[in-house]
Structure 1
């Protein structure tokens, strides 16, 4: 296998895996929400179209904001995704019990589910847009470095897409096997960690753009124990924001996101409890 083919396969696998995990977790968490498939599909299409626009604007994005365009673009997309995932978890903290209790008749009994579906479009669309745009720019760099044949890159890309989609689907299928009484707890925790991991990545991009101080770089280094480029490292990076060499500011963003989302969930639960007294 040529180096370019292997490099392309790894890059595409990582990006597709991240998008597939996000889509899988959100899809599993809303499996009983009416109309969610249409919104998931719409989000996927919107993300792909956005990635196509990014591909056509590669040179412009690369030069934007004095060479830090991609970092700012990623930070912006991730920030919106964190907000959407936070809202999803807060929404589910008040509606999850209803969804579980009425799993078979949710379409008729929980009309509020329709408002949740708009969040699906945004989260899925942003996930596909971010990973797709990163893939485009990474592959653009490989091609620009020379010595890469289009055939090898296409073959590597196909391998990466297939492998990433399979691993993402396996995680999704595993979530669906969880008993209903534990299902919403499990998916809520996963979405919470997913949002915190994204917040950590926002900090990383802003540090790279010299907008935020790193505070300490790195806080620790677990590359020898669990390399971030290994399959396990990639999965953990996608699921919980694992970083083998995180900066101090990343930890601050991670903990802050966890605290804010959990506080929001608890507040909604208290409000719901008070309204039922």
Structure 2
């Protein structure tokens, strides 16, 4: 509630200040306020509409898409509040005088509509920023009702201050006000960085840096004052992750230094480009160092997977091996020629042995044959110890002629280039004739046939578990490499480019100013100078 109150107060006060000054100018100059109020009402309605539309769109999306949208809104809100802090830090002292100057110029030129447009744009800008920032804060808040109440109270307070400014009974030190509230908003925005990084992870955009750092659950207990302050106001969760801690400090420290660094100790204008260039070069060096240190390492592929006979989960005798080289899978069963299959067809994403894996499944038909003749005892054995329904010992005593159609269903699971597991199950359809049967009968046999009692096979349990652990470790390593070797260096590279461009532009302005100062004064003839 406190965080949203300060947001509503600060953003609302800026808009109220602009509207109050414009209204005072119009009143003192005998102009009507109707146009200005129309612009203000339209801007407020549009701002509320933006917030409502964004909220409805977010609620209509699936869970993962909601997290992605919250991430985008959070990033935009961080950009807005940072830009506001930077602008206010530079212009808070002269904000009122600049507004009065622009308003006076507009009235002098007879452009009263320009003041109404100024009020409309000012309220629309602040309203849009407030909608996005509050929507992001609501998403991170533990109590949306209190957050909404705080925002409403903040806006109402800002309106009251604006009315006081208009009536002339309120004097406020804008520089000090924005400086104090700016310090609080820096903490709120840093917490918003944490929540944005978390929603990015939940959306699947940020998979690295999820190591737990500290456990604040003993302090951040629901309903307690520390919980309201740490989680509700500052947006810090009870289990901050490594990337969230890094993001919190990476935002808080430079922004706080920029806002609160003593003005007397700040570098002169001609030295700012050098500082920007030095910071840009440092960011580029760190980006390169991270990218190089997280370069792709050489990994050793595991050896062939041992195949065990029997149903999955029960290891029988070793029956062969399976190995994966790129997309080529080789299955070598004892007593049979090795067979190579290319895994280039469509796969299914599944969880196997606790690992997100890709599964390929295919069926081999007519891969074997069984006995040509079956007795009643053989038929009962194939059917699990009892005769199939519809066959009677007295009326169909056998033996039966048997025609076999056998199918082997092979499944293979891979993860991170590792052959995780492989299995095969054998099914057969036996068509019976003779032996007292008046018509042919079909019997389905699952798992084995008489000629191949151990036809089913699977990856050895211990080896599959070890390969699952290896695949999980590779996934975690790849996630960390993506974060620290690609994503963070990319952010640092963008920051380095922005700083270097700013340094280049600042240096150009400095040189142009120096050239103007060094240019000689225009020559004036003595006779002209002596003339009265």
Same fold (TM over 0.5): yes
Determine whether 1:51 maps to 2:47. no
Decide which of 189, 196, 216 is 1:195's aligned counterpart: 189
CA 1:87–1:115: 2 relative to 1, 3 Å: farther
Higher RCO (C-alpha 8 Å, min separation 6): 1
Once the two structures are TM-superposed, the CA of residue 109 in structure 1 deviates from its matched residue by 6.9
Match of residue 126 from structure 2: 120
Match of residue 220 from structure 1: 214
Residue deviations 1:180-201, cap 9 Å, x none?
2631211211222222111111
Write out aligned runs for 1:228-247 (5 A). Answer: 230=224, 233-234=227-228, 236-247=230-241
Q: Which moved more, 1:111-120 or 1:77-86?
A: 111-120
| Larger relative helix fraction | 1
CA 1:272–1:193: 2 relative to 1, 3 Å: farther
Q: Counterparts of 2:171 and 2:268 in 1: how far apart (Å)?
A: 26
Match of residue 80 from structure 2: 84
Residue deviations 1:80-110, cap 9 Å, x none?
11011111111101111113x6499587379
CA 1:113–1:193: 2 relative to 1, 3 Å: farther
Write out aligned runs for 1:52-201 (5 A). Answer: 52-55=56-59, 57=60, 61-62=61-62, 68-99=64-95, 102=97, 105=100, 108=103, 119-130=125-136, 161=145, 163-169=146-152, 173=157, 180=173, 182-201=176-195
What are the ranges of 5 or more consecutive residues in structure 2 without an aligned counterpart?
20-35, 106-114, 162-169, 271-508, 514-532
Q: Counterparts of 2:268 and 2:124 in 1: how far apart (Å)?
A: 22
Task: Indicate if the aligned counterparts of 2:80 and 2:129 stay in contact, CA closer than 8 A.
Answer: yes
Q: Which moved more, 1:124-133 or 1:243-252?
A: 124-133
Decide which of 31, 42, 49 is 2:46's aligned counterpart: 42
Residue deviations 1:17-49, cap 9 Å, x none?
765553334324655234896555532331013
Residue deviations 1:106-151, cap 9 Å, x none?
873799998765542332221354467789xx9xxxxxxxxxxxxx
Q: Counterparts of 1:178 and 1:228 in 2: how far apart (Å)?
A: 41
Once the two structures are TM-superposed, the CA of residue 271 in structure 1 deviates from its matched residue by 9.2
Q: Which moved more, 1:163-172 or 1:183-192?
A: 163-172
Q: Point out the structure with max Rg over C-alpha.
A: 2
Q: Counterparts of 1:196 and 1:97 in 2: how far apart (Å)?
A: 25
| Larger relative strand fraction | 2
CA 1:18–1:186: 2 relative to 1, 3 Å: closer
CA 1:42–1:231: 2 relative to 1, 3 Å: farther
Q: Counterparts of 2:217 and 2:100 in 1: how far apart (Å)?
A: 48
Once the two structures are TM-superposed, the CA of residue 230 in structure 1 deviates from its matched residue by 4.4
Q: TM-score, normalised by structure 1?
A: 0.61
Task: Indicate if the aligned counterparts of 1:223 and 1:245 stay in contact, CA closer than 8 A.
Answer: yes
CA 1:74–1:198: 2 relative to 1, 3 Å: same
Match of residue 494 from structure 2: none
Write out aligned runs for 1:242-261 (5 A). Answer: 242-261=236-255
CA 1:37–1:125: 2 relative to 1, 3 Å: same
Q: Secondary structure at the match of 2:18?
A: coil
CA 1:196–1:131: 2 relative to 1, 3 Å: closer
CA 1:51–1:206: 2 relative to 1, 3 Å: closer
Count of equivalent residues:
227
Q: Counterparts of 1:37 and 1:261 in 2: how far apart (Å)?
A: 32
Q: Counterparts of 1:178 and 1:227 in 2: how far apart (Å)?
A: 42
Decide which of 9, 14, 26 is 2:11's aligned counterpart: 26
Once the two structures are TM-superposed, the CA of residue 253 in structure 1 deviates from its matched residue by 0.9
Once the two structures are TM-superposed, the CA of residue 263 in structure 1 deviates from its matched residue by 6.1
Task: Indicate if the aligned counterparts of 1:48 and 1:128 stay in contact, CA closer than 8 A.
Answer: no
CA 1:103–1:74: 2 relative to 1, 3 Å: same
Match of residue 149 from structure 1: none
